[in-house]
Structure 1
Amino acid sequence: MTEPRSALAHPEGPAATAQAAGAATARPDRVGWFVPGRVEVLGKHTDYAGGRSLLAAVDRGHTVEATARDDDLLRVTSTIARETIVLRLDGEDPAHRAPGHWSGYVRTVAGRLHANFPEQLRGADITIESDLPLAAGMSSSSALVVGLSMTLLELGGIATDPRFLAEVPDRERLGEYLGTVENGQSYGTLAGHRGVGTFGGSEDHTAMLCAREGRLLQYAFCPVRFEEQVDFPEDAALVVGVSGVQAEKTGAAKDRYNRVSMSAREILGRWNGATHRDDPTLGDAVASSPGAPARLRTLVEGDAYLEGRLEQFLVESELIVPMALKALRAGDVREFGRIVDLSQYHAEKGLGNQTPETMRLCTLARMMGAHAASAFGAGFGGSVWAMVDRAGADDFAREWIDAYAEEFPAVGDAATWLVTRPGAAAHGI
C-alpha cells in the first residue's frame, strides 16, 4: 500500500525516515516533534523584503509532545514557564491573558489552523520542554509556532490531506505558510487570521524546517527558494553569546521591530508609485532592471532612515550573502570575517537595530581572535554569534562573556553562552 504523502517530511536526513513511518497513520493519537532554534549567519531583515539569507539551525530547541483529546480544548504545559494554560480549539482564551504572554503564540497557531481546517483540528494535551534560551535572538517564538503547528497538523491528519498538500506540498512551502501563521497574512487559498502582531517573514521557519547538519544554507524568499549550500568548516564552532538584553517582540520592542519591517514596504510603495509597477517585494524591484538600485536611491533621497535601510538591504542581500558563501567555499576564513564585519556595520548604521551590548559583543569577539562575529535576529537585544576554532571554543566563550559582563554589569548576570555547530532540521520523535 502506498503511504500518504506528508508535507512534514524532510527530503533528506533522519527526519525523512521518522516522518515516513508516521505518515502511514493519518490521524495518530500521540505525536512529538523537536524543533531547533536557528542562527541567522547573514541576512538581517532581508527575508520579508524578498532578499536572501545564510542560515543554520542549532542543536538546541523545543520538544513538543501531544496526546489527542475528545473535546475542543488545548491544554498546554510549558516546563520553562512552569505554567499550564487551557484554550478553546479556536484559540480563544477564557482567561483573557495580557498581550505578551506566551499563550499568545498558542492562540495564534490554534486560531489559524482552526480557521483553515475547522473540521480536522483536534483537541490535545500538549507539553513543551526547551533548552533554547528565550528572547535571545535564536527565534524561540518562531520555534514555538513551528512546534505547535507541526504537532497539530500531524495530530489532525491535516499534513496528509489533499487540500493542504495543494497549497503546502513540501517543507519549503510549509515554512512560508507558517510564516503567515505568525504574521497573520493569507497563504494561497488558506485565509489569514490573527497573527502575533509582527510583520516578519519566513526565514526562521525555513531554517528550522530545512536545515542540514554541518551546512550553511543560502535561501532567497518571497517565494522561498533554495539557492546554495556550503559545508561549515570542520575545525570551527559557533559560539552564541546571549547579551542578556531580551530581544522581545512585544510592546515598544514590537514597534521598533515593525519600524524596520515597514520601512521596506515604504520604499517599495514609493517604487511602485513612481514606476507604475506592481512589484510584490523590494527584492523584485531590485531585480527588475540593472538601473533599479540607482532609481530606488533617488526615490528615498532626503529620508535618512530610508536611505540607510535601502543601502543595508542592497548590500546585505545582493553582495554580502553570496560573497560570504563564496569565501567559505574557498576556505578563505579571513575574507569571510571581513564580509561579516561589513554586514554588522550596515546593521548598526542602516537598520539601527543594534544596542551598545550587541555591538560590544561583536567588537570583543573580534578583538579576542574570533574569525567572524555578528549580531543576528530581529535586533534590539538578543545574541551575537562568533566563529572560532572548535578546539578552544569553550575557553573562548567563557573569556568572551566574562569580559562582556565586566563592561555591562547591569545585564552581565543574565548573559550566557552556548557552543554549537549547524544542526539538523525539525524532526519527529
Structure 2
Amino acid sequence: MGPEAPRHAYFVPGRIEVLGKHTDYAGGRTMVAVAERGFCLAASPRQDRRIRVCDAACGDTVEFNLDPELVPRAGHWSNYPMTVARRVARNFPGIERGADIALASDLPPAAGMSSSSAMMVATWLALAEVNALEDRPEFRENIMDLTDLAGYLGTVENGQTFGSLVGDRGVGTFGGSEDHTAILNARPGHVSQYSYCPVRFERLLPVPSGYTFAIGSSGVAAEKTGSAMEKYNRASRLLSKITELWREATGCDDRYLAAALASGPEAVGRLTQIVQHARPGEMDPKALLTRLEHFLTENEQILPAAGDALARGDLARFGELVDRSQLASEQLLGNQVPETVYLALSARSAGAVAASAFGAGFGGSVWALIEAAAADAFLDKWIQAYREQFPEQARAAVFFTTAAGPAAFRVT
C-alpha cells in the first residue's frame, strides 16, 4: 500500500462462547461475548480486481482475483479471505475493485476463539468498503442491520443461501452464525444471548461488577481441517439427520431442530420416539439420541436457566449450570480433550466462579469468570497447574485476561 493511498482500518475481535455448544447451526441459542484481542486490518482500494492479503506478523502474502470462479486453497489460512472474495463476486456481480489488505492478530491460533470467522469478517469489511456494497440493491434487499449481516456472513462461511444471495461452496465446515453475530454485535461489559436461523437478539446480560474473563488456550490446536473438520461436521450432520427424520415422520417443513422442538408441547417426546425407531443406516440411532439429548440439555435446560442466574447475579447457580454444560460436552457431545477438561476443572479449583471449554472443541480454549482484583494470582495458579499436568502442551498454551469487549469497529 502506497503512503498516499486512502486507507481503511478496522479492529475485529475474537469470540468468547459462554454457553451454547454446537447449537447455533440448528436454530438454537447461545450466550456470547468478545475478547479485547482480535485482528487489526488496514486496506487500500485498487483499480483492478486483484486482492493482496499480507499477514503482517509473519510476512506471508497471498494474491488472487475478485472472481466468482476463484478456487480457494483448502487447508491454508488463505481459504478464508478467498472464500469471501468468491462469494462477494457471485452475490454482487460487476464489482471491479480489489484491495491491498494487511492484517495481524493477537489471538492464539486455532484456539476456539473464532479467528477464522474474524478473518472472514475483516475481509468482508474491507471489500464492502472499497466496493460500496452497502449501496448495492442486493445488499439493501437482504441485509437490514448487523444481525442480518452476521447471518449472511455465516452463510458465506458454511455455503448456504441467504435470502436472494445465493449460496456457494463455503470453507468446508457446517457451522452457524454465532461467531459472526458476536463479532459484529457484542456490547462491552456484557454477555449477549441470541437465537439463530435466523439471527434474533434475545437479551443483554451484564458481566457482574468486579469480574472479568480469563482465557486459557490449551495449546492443542482446534483446527477445522482434515479429520478435525470431519468431527466438527459430524456433530452438525447428526442434528440435520434428526430434523430430517422429524420432517419425514410428521410432514412438517421445519428446517431446523429448534423449530421442530418449538412446534408444540408434545414435540420433544414425539421426536425422541421418532429417533428411537429410526432404521439403522449411515447414522446410528444411539448416536442420534445422544446428540439430541445434548441439544435438549444445553439449549432447552441449561442456557435459559444460566441466563436467568446471571441476570439476577446468582453466581453460585450460574457456576453450577456452567459445570453441567461442561460435563454434557464431555459425556454427550464428545468434543473435549483431556487438556480442556483439566483446564475447566483446575480453573474452578483456582477460584473461578464458572469455567467451561468453548468453540468447536477437539482442542482449543477454556474461559473462566474470575474476580478482577485477583486476576494475576488466579492466572499464576492456573498456569502452574496446567504446566505440571501437561508440560508439553503448555509450551504452546496462552493465558490472558480480558473484559467483555466491543464489537468490530472502524478505526479510520
Give TM class, smaller chain: over 0.9
Give the 3-state SS of the residue equivalent to 1:300 in structure 2: helix
- CA distance 1:29–1:156, change in 2 (3 Å): farther
Structure 2: how far apart are the matches of 1:91 and 1:366? 49
Amino acid at match of 1:66: A
CA contact (8 A) 2:48 2:96 kept: no
Q: Which residue of 1 aligns with 2:266?
A: 291
Q: Which residue of 2 aligns with 1:73?
A: 50
- CA distance 1:29–1:121, change in 2 (3 Å): farther
Q: Which residue of 2 aligns with 1:63?
A: 40
Pair 1:155 & 2:155 matched: no
CA contact (8 A) 2:11 2:410 kept: yes
Structure 2 residue runs without a partner (length 5+) = 277-283
Identity of aligned residues (%): 50
TM-score (norm 2): 0.94
Pair 1:136 & 2:111 matched: yes
Q: Which residue of 2 aligns with 1:34?
A: 11
Q: Which residue of 2 aligns with 1:215?
A: 190
Amino acid at match of 2:235: V
Question: What is the Cα deviation at residue 317 of structure 1?
Answer: 1.1
Question: What is the Cα deviation at residue 121 of structure 1?
Answer: 4.7
- What RMSD, in angstroms, separates the aligned Cα atoms of the two structures? 1.5
Match of 1:123 among 73, 78, 98: 98
Deviates most, 106-115 or 388-397: 388-397
Q: Which residue of 2 aligns with 1:24?
A: none
Q: Which residue of 2 aligns with 1:313?
A: 295
CA contact (8 A) 1:66 1:151 kept: yes
Matches within 5 A, 1:166-315: 166-301=141-276, 303-315=285-297
Q: Which residue of 2 aligns with 1:10?
A: none
CA contact (8 A) 2:72 2:82 kept: no
Structure 1 residue runs without a partner (length 5+) = 1-27
Question: What is the Cα deviation at residue 99 of structure 1?
Answer: 2.4
Structure 1: how far apart are the matches of 2:322 and 2:248? 34
Deviates most, 327-336 or 395-404: 395-404
Give the 3-state SS of the residue equivalent to 1:54 in structure 2: strand
Give the 3-state SS of the residue equivalent to 1:308 in structure 2: helix
Question: What is the Cα deviation at residue 120 of structure 1?
Answer: 2.3
Amino acid at match of 1:78: D
Give the 3-state SS of the residue equivalent to 2:118 in structure 1: helix
- CA distance 1:201–1:81, change in 2 (3 Å): farther
TM-score (norm 1): 0.91
Amino acid at match of 1:399: K
CA contact (8 A) 1:36 1:60 kept: yes
Structure 1: how far apart are the matches of 2:165 and 2:68? 17
Pair 1:84 & 2:61 matched: yes
Question: What is the Cα deviation at residue 367 of structure 1?
Answer: 1.5
Structure 2: how far apart are the matches of 1:175 and 1:379? 22
CA contact (8 A) 1:113 1:121 kept: no
Q: Which residue of 1 aligns with 2:335?
A: 353
CA contact (8 A) 1:35 1:61 kept: yes
Pair 1:101 & 2:76 matched: yes
CA contact (8 A) 1:75 1:124 kept: yes
Q: Which residue of 2 aligns with 1:53?
A: 30
Question: What is the Cα deviation at residue 81 of structure 1?
Answer: 4.0
Pair 1:380 & 2:362 matched: yes
Question: What is the Cα deviation at residue 314 of structure 1?
Answer: 1.0
Give the 3-state SS of the residue equivalent to 2:405 in structure 1: coil
CA contact (8 A) 1:198 1:257 kept: yes
Deviates most, 107-116 or 186-195: 186-195
Amino acid at match of 1:53: T
Give the 3-state SS of the residue equivalent to 2:101 in structure 1: strand
Q: Which residue of 2 aligns with 1:325?
A: 307
Q: Which residue of 2 aligns with 1:21?
A: none
Amino acid at match of 1:73: R
CA contact (8 A) 2:31 2:191 kept: yes
